[in-house]
A and B are shown apart, each in its own frame.
Chain A
Amino acid sequence: MLQKKICMLGGFAVGKTSLVRRFVQSIFSETYLTTVGVKIDKKSVVLSDKTVDLILWDLAGEDDIGSFRLSYVRGASGLVLVADGTRAATLPVALTLRERAEAEFGAMPFVLLLNKSDLVHQWKISDNEINEMSQSGFKIYLTSALLGESVDDAFIQLASMVSK
C-alpha cells in the first residue's frame, strides 16, 4: 500500500481546509471556521500506474510565521502551499513556510495554489508575478474551493510528484 503524508501550508483564511474538503468530500461551506492544531484527512488518488493514499495534514494557518510548529511537518512527503489571490501578503507567507519546512526536513515536492480564483474583481496577484514563478519551476494552480476549479488537478499533480 502506497501512502504519503502531505502538509497544507499557508496563512490563515486562505482556504486550506476548504480545499481539502472540496478535494476529499466535494463540498464547500461559506462559513469560515479556523483550524486549530491539525486536522487529518485521507484520500485515495488513482494515477495511471498506481493508487496512492494521500494523508492530508490540514495545518492551522498562522498570522505570525514565528509561531508555526514545524513538528507537524515531520515525516511529510510533499507540501501544498496555499495563498489567497485576493490578499497579496499571503503569497510570501506560503513561500516562507515552505523555506522553513525545507530547512528543517530537506527539499520535498510541492504545488502552489493561488486560491479564491472566483473572486476575479478582488484579485491582487499579477499575471507577471505568476509567470515568473512558473518559469522558476513552480507548479502553480489558480484554484477555487468554491467552484472546484483546478483543485483535483493540483492534488493529483502532487500525488504523482510524491509517488515517483
Chain B
Amino acid sequence: MDEPPNEVRHWLYSFVYNDRSVAYVKIDDQLLVAAKGGCVDHYGLSSLRIGESVAEQLAFIEGLLPYRDLPFHIPMVELPSGRVTDLHLFSDSACIWLLFLDATAEHDNKRRIQQKAYEMTLLQERERQLNEELESTNEALRESQEGLSREYQRSESLLLNILPASIAERLKTQEQIADNHAEVSVLFADIVRFTEKARSVGAEMTLAILNSFFKAADLLSERHGCEKIKTIGDCVMVVAGLPVSRPDHAEALAHFALELRKAGTRESFGGEPLRLRIGIHSGPIVAGVIGKRRFAYDLWGDTVNLAARIQTSAEPDEIRISDATHKLCGQKFACDLLPEMELRGAGRVQMWRLMA
C-alpha cells in the first residue's frame, strides 16, 4: 500500500489533532515523566511534573508499567477531570509514550444507547419477577379459597344433619321460621319395655341398639322422602309432607312405619327382636326453628299431640293410625278397625291397625 501524499497526511494529522484533543506523555526507562505536550490542559495534566514518577502522578498507570506487550490501547477511560479518553501506550527503543485521544462525545453517545437498552432489560426482568410473584400469590389465594370452601361444605353438611335442607337454606337469610302446614302426617315410634331392658343389657349395648334403631329411621326417612324431626330417649318422631308438601304424605309414612317395624325384627335386644310401638296421625301443624345457637326444627299443634297419644296406646309390634290417616291411605293397605278408645286430652278416638 502506498503511503498517502504529504498533503493528505498533513490534513489527517491536523484533523485528528484538533478533533481528538491529542496529548502525550513521554516516560523514560526509570518510569519517570520525561516530557509532555499537546492538549495537556484538556485532560487536567498540566500539573504533571517532569522528572518525577509517572505512577505516583497518574493513578491509572498502576500495574501497567513496565509491560512487555506494547503497544496496546485502553478505550474510553474516564479521568478524574471528567474527560473520557482513549489511552494508547507504545514504545520506541528508549522510552514509552502515553497518548491521549479524547472520546467524550463517543462515550456519551454510546452511554445514551446503552442506558436505554439496559433500562429496557431491567424492566423486562422486573416484569417477569412480578408476574412470578403474582402467580404464586394467586396460587396461595386459590388454596385458601379451596380450604374455605371445604370448611363451608363441612359446616353445611353439619347443618343439614340437624335441619331439612330447605329450612337450612332459609335460616341463612331469615331470622325466624314458623310455617303452617295444613296437611302432614306425624309418626311416633318407641321401643317396647326399653327402660327395663336397658337396665339388664347395660349402657353400651343400649347405646348400640339405639344407634342402629335411629340409623334405620334416618335411612328409611331418606328412602321415603320423610323427615326425621327428633329423638326423645328411645322415641323417634318422623313427619311426611314437610317442608315441601306432598299429597301422599300419609301413604309415605305408612310405608315408612311398615319398614321400620321390619327393621326392628332384624335387631336383637336383650335376647329377643326389637319390638316397636308406632302411632300415626294426619292433620295441620306449625313447623319452625327455635333456639339461637343450637337450632332445633320442631313441630307443634294438636296433630302432634294426638299422634303421640295414639303411639302410646299402641300394642307391642302394632302400627296404630288415626281415622284421619286411614281416610287418606286406607285403601292401599290392609287395616283393621279398632274399637273406639278414650285417649287422654282427646276424648273418644276412632283408630285403625295398619297390618301390611
Contact = CB atoms under 8 A, between A and B. Distances in A.
Interface of A: 1, 3-5, 12-13, 32-34, 36-42, 53, 55, 57, 60, 63, 69, 71-72, 74-77, 87, 122
Contacts of B74: 38, 71-72
B75 A37 contact: yes
B119 to A, nearest CB: 7
B143 interface: no
A33 B59 contact: no
A42 B110 CA distance: 25
State the 4 A-B residue pairs at the shortest beta-carbon distance, nearest first.
A75-B63, A37-B76, A5-B63, A39-B78
B45 interface: no
Contacts of A5: 62-63
The residue in A32, A33, A37, A76 that gathers the most chain B C-beta atoms within 10 A of its C-beta is: A37
B318 to A, nearest CB: 77
25 contacts: A1-B56, A3-B55, A3-B56, A5-B63, A13-B118, A32-B118, A32-B122, A33-B111, A33-B115, A34-B111, A34-B118, A36-B76, A36-B114, A37-B76, A37-B77, A37-B84, A37-B103, A37-B107, A38-B77, A40-B60, A40-B77, A42-B59, A42-B80, A53-B59, A77-B63
A34 B63 contact: no
B64 interface: yes
A87 B129 CA distance: 9
B78 A3 contact: no
A54 to B, nearest CB: 10
B77 A55 contact: no
Given A55-B62, A74-B64, A36 B80 contact: no
Contact of B67 (A3, A13, A75): A75
B222 interface: no
Interface string B45-82: 00000000001100110111001000011111111100
Nearest to A105: B63
Interface in B110-165: 110-111, 114-115, 117-119, 121-122, 125, 129
Contacts of A32: 115, 118-119, 122
B76 A40 contact: no
Contact of B72 (A3, A33, A71, A77): A71
Contacts, number: 76
A75 B76 contact: no
Nearest to B78: A39
A69 B75 CA distance: 9
Interface in B260-299: none
B229 to A, nearest CB: 57
B79 A36 contact: no
A98 B74 CA distance: 19
Given A37-B76, A40-B78, A40-B79, A55 B111 contact: no
B194 to A, nearest CB: 68
A87 B132 CA distance: 13
B111 A36 contact: yes
A20 B121 CA distance: 23
B110 A55 contact: no
A75 B77 contact: no
A43 B93 CA distance: 35
A90 to B, nearest CB: 10
Contacts of B103: 37
A42 B79 CA distance: 11
